């Protein structure tokens, strides 16, 4: 860290304490006269932050305020976020980040992150040297083509890597100086964005085919040269690209795709926990998906591994999983089945979604469509007819796109549903019971994976790591949380979850011979020592 003095120290976001500089520090660092008299504690500063933030009337204004705080005083931002994570995470990430991305070009204040466009072809390794830090350990990269459930937002999608990096720091304690948000700005096919006079991105249609793939290749190779220990997290790519890049780079470099693998692990964790409530054996479950994109097919693939880990063979495991598309049950007789869904297209009579629930009696229903209202009253009631305690996981984001709301799920199942969702919902009173529905938030998984990969310097990120992460996460849900209807820990315990996941990831990395680090025996303490604590 640079030795700063006077005004330069006061305005440096990583080093400033603002009004918390002590009298002695004010004397030693040439700060006398530059600050009001009072020496505040970080907690007093947090009170001031919360007061100002809460006085804003809309979520987007709160987002802008918090982003400005991050740019002004990093430690104060992260301390506030960690200590008030339930209030702040939905403002920094989903659902507010969706709105922030749509408005990105209009609310832009200060450049954050790194932008690569087709004009940088052949020079990506050179321009990466412009990034001021050398020891980058986590990169979150998107090309903005499928932002949440909102579609092609072009360079406006930069809000997503910025938000995910904030979650890495707050939820797992990766040092902010070791994180880098990246936008592969290859154009946008969203005409209204290109026509927006304030749009900040590369204002041309997306490049595609060889031109697109070779640019991604160049980026991946350039990262290996400039930041050889960086973990690359692919984020919000169009589903075919998401799978293609995972297949292409997964065994070449340290990378993973959160929409596919992070979602899979958090969903699996929820299913593991649900078995603690229903008393059903995981190995006996039948699971049904609505939607066949990155989230659903990634989850199905991890579920196959999970079933195999409890004794089923691959074909038996695949037979436990069923897919519904817009026309109803996906069966072996369907035409044009996506290759990744093919193993789950079983022999069965063609039938509607509701009839498929009646016939197959799934224990768990997972929605990953991005389409609001697809779990309607008939669907939820049918799940509640074939199960004493139906498990319904409505993953779609943002909140306006959810398959059903928490309130609908409890009401239509007469309070019997075990419910989780992608977007956060508040408490629901049903009869004399107060439910606290849990959010199947990827933030329970990917920060811990990142921390574990960082600690172990694992060369690749494997499915076994995600399987281990899901088991660990389910294992730390308490009886009290379960009693309130939750299948995930409460958010204030997310750092604990990340720490435990990181330990498990290190163990997998060692067992799989992937760790390049000289790890001490006491992984618990070692990983704790790596975690950034934003204190003065
Ligand atoms: P995707 O675009 O890859 O897949 C969506 C799939 O749903 C497609 O296969 C599409 O054909 C299908 N679909 C759309 N409408 C349908 C309908 N009426 N009936 C049946 N199928 C339908 O998107 P994705 O990456 O898989 O994400 C899906 C949703 O899940 C998004 O809203 C995303 O934000 C959300 N998600 C949430 C989490 C989380 O909260 N943990 C994680 C990942 C994704």
Residue 93 annotated as catalytic: yes
8 A C-beta contact, residue 410 and residue 419: yes
Probe residue for ligand 1, chosen from 94, 259, 344, 487 as the CB with the greatest number of ligand atoms within 8 Å = 259
Looking at residue 437, its pLDDT comes to 87
Classify domain 259-454+461-531 by CATH number: 3.40.50.720
According to DSSP, residue 205 is labeled P
Looking at residue 294, its pLDDT comes to 84
Mean pLDDT, residues 438-465: 96
Q: How far is the CA of 99 from the centre of ligand 1 (A)?
A: 18
One of 62, 63, 78, 164 is an active-site residue; which one?
Answer: 164
Looking at residue 423, its pLDDT comes to 85
- The C-alpha atoms of residue 70 and residue 55 are separated, in whole angstroms, by 18
Residue ranges of the chain that CATH labels 3.40.50.10380: 91-253
Return all residues near 19 (Cβ < 8 A) that are at least 6 apart.
35, 36, 38, 39, 40, 45
Residue ranges of the chain that CATH labels 3.40.50.720: 259-454+461-531
Query: Is pLDDT above 90 for 16?
Result: yes
Residue 17 annotated as catalytic: no
Mean pLDDT lowest among 101-110, 383-392, 444-453? 101-110
Q: 6-72: which CATH number, 3.40.50.1820, 2.140.10.10, 3.90.180.10, 1.20.1370.30?
A: 1.20.1370.30
The string of DSSP codes covering 379-400 is: HHHHHHHH-SS-EEEE--SSGG
* Residue 483: band (very low, low, confident or very high) from pLDDT cuts 50, 70, 90: confident
Q: What value does the mean pLDDT of the chain take?
A: 96
The string of DSSP codes covering 138-193 is: EEEEE-SSS-TTS---GGGGGHHHHHHHHHHHHHH---GGGEEEEEE----S-HHH
- The C-alpha atoms of residue 367 and residue 394 are separated, in whole angstroms, by 5
* Residue 398: band (very low, low, confident or very high) from pLDDT cuts 50, 70, 90: confident
Looking at residue 392, its pLDDT comes to 98
The domain 91-253 having CATH identifier 1.20.1560.10: the answer here is no
Question: Each residue of 294-311: pLDDT tens digit?
Answer: 899 999 999 999 999 999
Question: Each residue of 178-222: pLDDT tens digit?
Answer: 999 999 999 999 999 999 999 999 999 999 999 999 999 999 999
Strands 418-421 and 438-439: parallel
* Residue 378: band (very low, low, confident or very high) from pLDDT cuts 50, 70, 90: very high
* Residue 397: band (very low, low, confident or very high) from pLDDT cuts 50, 70, 90: confident
Which residue owns the Cα nearest ligand 1 atom 19?
A: 326
Query: Is pLDDT above 80 for 463?
Result: yes
Mean pLDDT, residues 115-131: 98
Measuring from each residue's beta carbon to the nearest atom of ligand 1, which residues come in under 6 Å? 146, 148-149, 239, 259, 263, 266, 290-296, 324-326, 368-371, 374, 395-397, 401, 422, 440-442
Atom number in ligand 1 closest to CA 148: 34
Question: Each residue of 308-362: pLDDT tens digit?
Answer: 999 999 999 999 999 999 999 999 999 999 999 999 999 999 999 999 999 999 9
Mean pLDDT, residues 512-535: 95
Query: Is pLDDT above 90 for 47?
Result: yes
Q: What six digits make up the tokens of 442?
A: 């990827």
Residue ranges of the chain that CATH labels 1.20.1370.30: 6-72
Q: How far is the CA of 424 from the centre of ligand 1 (A)?
A: 17
Percentage of the chain exceeding pLDDT 70 = 100
One of 17, 62, 78, 93 is an active-site residue; which one?
Answer: 93
Atom number in ligand 1 closest to CA 324: 20
Instruction: Enter the pTM of the model.
Output: 0.95
Question: Each residue of 127-184: pLDDT tens digit?
Answer: 999 999 999 999 999 999 999 878 999 999 999 999 999 999 999 999 999 999 999 9
Query: How many CB atoms lie under 10 A from the CB of residue 169?
Result: 25
Mean pLDDT, residues 412-421: 96
Q: How far is the CA of 536 from the centre of ligand 1 (A)?
A: 42
Atom number in ligand 1 closest to CA 395: 37
């Amino acid at each position: 860290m640079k030795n700063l003095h006077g005004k330069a120290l006061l305005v440096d976001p990583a080093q400033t304490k603002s009004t918390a500089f002590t009298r002695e520090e004010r004397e030693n660092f040439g700060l006398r006269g530059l600050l009001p008299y009072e020496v505040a504690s970080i907690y007093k500063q947090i009170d001031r932050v919360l007061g100002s933030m809460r006085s804003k009337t809309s979520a987007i204004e709160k987002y802008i305020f918090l982003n400005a705080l991050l740019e002004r005083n990093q430690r104060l931002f992260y301390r506030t976020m960690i200590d008030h994570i339930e209030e702040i995470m939905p403002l920094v990430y989903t659902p507010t980040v969706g709105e922030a991305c749509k408005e990105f070009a209009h609310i832009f204040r200060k450049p954050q992150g790194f932008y690569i466009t087709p004009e940088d072809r052949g020079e990506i390794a050179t321009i990466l040297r412009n990034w001021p830090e050398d020891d980058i350990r986590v990169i979150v990269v998107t090309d903005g083509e499928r932002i949440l459930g909102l579609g092609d937002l072009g360079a406006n999608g930069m809000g997503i890597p910025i938000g995910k990096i904030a979650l890495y720091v707050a939820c797992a304690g990766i040092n902010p100086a070791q994180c880098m948000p990246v936008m592969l700005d290859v154009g946008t096919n969203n005409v209204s964005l290109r026509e927006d006079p304030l749009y900040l991105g590369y204002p041309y249609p997306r490049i595609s085919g060889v031109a697109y793939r070779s640019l991604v290749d160049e980026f991946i190779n350039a990262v290996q040269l400039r930041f050889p220990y960086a973990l690359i997290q692919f984020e919000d790519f169009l589903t075919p690209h998401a799978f293609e890049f995972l297949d292409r780079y997964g065994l070449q470099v340290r990378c993973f795709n959160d929409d596919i693998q992070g979602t899979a692990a958090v969903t699996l964790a929820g299913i593991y926990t649900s078995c603690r409530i229903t008393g059903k054996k995981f190995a006996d479950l039948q699971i049904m998906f609505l939607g066949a994109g990155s989230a659903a097919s990634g989850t199905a693939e991890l579920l196959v591994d999970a079933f195999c880990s409890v004794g089923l063979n691959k074909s038996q495991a695949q037979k436990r999983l069923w897919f519904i598309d817009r026309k109803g049950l996906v069966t072996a007789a369907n035409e044009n089945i996506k290759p990744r869904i093919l193993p789950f297209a079983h022999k069965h009579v063609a039938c509607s979604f509701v009839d498929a629930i009646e016939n197959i009696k799934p224990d768990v229903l997972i929605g990953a469509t991005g389409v609001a209202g697809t779990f309607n009253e008939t669907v939820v009631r049918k799940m509640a007819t074939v199960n004493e305690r139906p498990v319904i996981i409505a993953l779609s984001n943002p909140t306006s796109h959810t398959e059903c709301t928490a309130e609908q799920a409890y009401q239509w199942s007469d309070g019997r549903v075990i419910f989780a969702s992608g977007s956060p919902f508040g408490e629901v009173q049903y009869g004399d019971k107060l439910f606290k529905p849990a959010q199947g938030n990827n933030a329970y998984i990917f920060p811990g994976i990142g921390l574990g990969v960082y600690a172990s310097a694992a060369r690749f990120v494997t499915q076994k790591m995600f399987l281990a992460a899901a088991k660990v996460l389910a294992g730390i849900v308490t009886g009290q949380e379960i009693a309130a209807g939750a299948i995930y820990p409460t958010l204030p315990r997310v750092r604990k979850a990340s720490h435990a996941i990181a330990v498990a990831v290190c163990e997998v990395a060692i067992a799989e011979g992937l760790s390049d680090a000289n790890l001490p025996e006491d992984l618990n303490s070692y990983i704790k020592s790596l975690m950034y604590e934003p204190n003065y």
